[in-house]
Amino acid sequence: MMKRKIEELFIKFLMLVATVIVVGSFFLIVGTIVSKGLPHMSLDMITKTPGGGFYIGKEGGVLNAIIGSLYVAGGATLLGLLISIPVAIYLNMYLSGKNVIANAIRLAFDVLFGIPSIVYGAFGFLIMVYFGIRTSLLGGIIAVTLLVIPILVRTLDEVIRTVPHELRDAALSLGATRWEAAKVVLRQIKPGIFTAILLSFGRAIGDVAAVLFTAGFSDNIPTSLHEPAATLPLAIFFQLSSAVEEVQGRAYASALILTVVVLLITVLSEILVKKFSKHKI
């Protein structure tokens, strides 16, 4: 009897320790980034482009990378939406719910979701070579679009599935075509679309491996789709390996900016997701 009690207590203690480690690691990471990044934060960081070369120049900030990241993440999310909204509608409105084909397509997107961004980056690079596009904002957007399509489709599909079937059936029984019924459903899931946008944007803005081959890097803010563009994660990665202390400091401050932005996006989408998701594994 005693032995069972002790075992119970021991395991409970282990579980507590494990939970503290897992949850605590979040605070450890954020704490490290904040304590290292905060001393190097300044208004210049977010209002100026780097002066005298981003790798050695001690002046300026990372405005070029911030804008570049917004362009890449925004462009990719927009393009991704144009593709994934129709796909999600097709899966739910045109193929009926328990369709084998629909489920096979869902499986394919689940698998695509698991493909690492470095593979999307390499593939994006192949596309660029094939079409003769040079490393540019456009190339980055293409690669990241491929990366976010599975995220968008999975989220939108999940959201559309929470819309009651009766709504669709009512629209159809009133003589609406499937496309007209789809428009009714789309109106219902507006907040869900917003969630999908946030998730996709958050993933896109933080990703390095997909833009590494495709977007290039530049100290300037890109003015056209064909110019190379810096992104924030890539700027962090490059600046961190610099020997100049100020530049390293900029990397820490950039990491802080990126973390804050991404965490805000995640919190916002968490709140929205709560309203929608049920049992998605």
Residues numbered 40 to 69 that lie near other proteins (CB under 8 A) are none
For residues 12 and 275, which CB has a smaller minimum distance to other proteins in the complex? 12
Q: Which stretch binds other proteins (CB under 8 A): 39-47, 49-57, 218-226, 252-260?
A: 252-260
Q: SS3 of 229, please?
A: coil
Q: SS3 of 59, please?
A: strand
Report how far residue 142's alpha carbon sits from residue 183's, in angstroms, rounded to the nearest whole number. Answer: 28
For residues 182 and 223, which CB has a smaller minimum distance to other proteins in the complex? 182
**Using the rule CB under 8 A, is 25 a contact of other proteins?**
yes
For residues 33 and 193, which CB has a smaller minimum distance to other proteins in the complex? 33
For other proteins, which residue of 53, 70, 79, 90 counts as binding (CB under 8 A)? Answer: 90
**What type of residue is 37?**
G
Give the residue from 177, 240, 217, 264 showing the smallest Cα distance to 49: 217
For other proteins, which residue of 163, 212, 229, 272 counts as binding (CB under 8 A)? Answer: 212
Binding residues for other proteins restricted to 152-181, rule: CB under 8 A: 153, 177-180
Per-residue buried b or exposed e for 251-272, using 16+ beta carbons within 10 Å of the residue's own CB: bbbbbbbbbebbeebbeebeeb
For other proteins, which residue of 62, 148, 258, 272 counts as binding (CB under 8 A)? Answer: 258
**Using the rule CB under 8 A, is 29 a contact of other proteins?**
yes
Q: Which stretch binds other proteins (CB under 8 A): 44-52, 54-62, 159-167, 199-207?
A: 199-207
Give the residue from 208, 238, 162, 243 showing the smallest Cα distance to 69: 208
**Using the rule CB under 8 A, is 110 a contact of other proteins?**
yes
Give the shortest CB-47-to-other proteins separation in angstroms.
22
Q: What is the phi/psi pair of residue 185, to 5°?
A: -65, -40
Give the shortest CB-244-to-other proteins separation in angstroms.
16
Report how far residue 159's alpha carbon sits from residue 276's, in angstroms, rounded to the nearest whole number. Answer: 6
Q: What is the phi/psi pair of residue 206, to 5°?
A: -95, -5
For residues 190 and 278, which CB has a smaller minimum distance to other proteins in the complex? 278
